[in-house]
Structure 1
């Protein structure tokens, strides 16, 4: 039977992320760190993905472990960061793309212990599987700024003795987005009316197309 790597990339890609390789290396250096502490790091990583805790909670636990096991805080932080990175990478593709056996093989290639592999397996394929994927996909989704406020004003300049002709009225628009960005522009009345007409025409054509598709579905 062919090895799965002949037709599927590892969940972390073809290049091992630096955060993951440093995590593996640091785990070897911190051999005195007992597995229950590592298990807690992995559980905190899951809570971090699910937004069930603040970053302060994880840092407090790392500080306690530093004092208890006499291990540098920086090393524990590298381990924790590596665990979070693994979960984020595993949750990037759709849930159906990540198979339990293949995931375990990928972690073995990274030289993680069987105990750690089993912990990650239980998280990614356990009762919170769907919740983890939905939360991760939502947090990684590109976001555009939303409209926070909208103002407009009509500027009309009347004919005076100093003007040879009447100036065309202008519409001034001002948008403020949730990213605290302010956008302003002006449009002549004539152009604004053209925009209104074309928008209404487009909406009408969309309704007609939607109606035709509905009839086709009913016919079938």
Structure 2
């Protein structure tokens, strides 16, 4: 599975309702629905949206357009049409609609006017880490340190190197002291705990 397809299909549960409607959508409806959805995204909604008869169909297409448009900001590369087609097939669009919609969604200029607050920050593909003891070893030798002093220097001058590979192709490298590394671990654990508590609340559950 390509990175783009993995990004597109990472939340399958959110498409259950959409998948009930998509088989009913006709090819001729795709282009006007996409145009109206983009107008909404750009902050200039079209008055014709309020008078639509097929609100369920438009809502389904709008959800796809918003999702794909927001994810597009997380990668610097244009969408691969094969990946987009696979994603749309999973949503049960007809083949005619898949051809029409995938062609439209793969036009890169489509996303030029998406407001910044709707854009997605790059995701993390992988993280690697290593321990850098070069500075501590140098200082231990320079000080001719005792055993107790060696432990102090190791704790003070040992660093953790974190290497993050992002979905937009960038690689970010961070150098943290041991204290900062443990602080980061604590903050991440606290955030995850808060997320678990929120997910258990009734207001966060989907029927």
Q: Do the two structures share a fold, i.e. TM-score over 0.5?
A: no
| TM-score (normalizing by structure 2) | 0.45
Determine which structure has more spread, i.e. the larger CA radius of gyration: 1
Which structure has the highest helix share of the two? 2
| TM-score (normalizing by structure 1) | 0.43
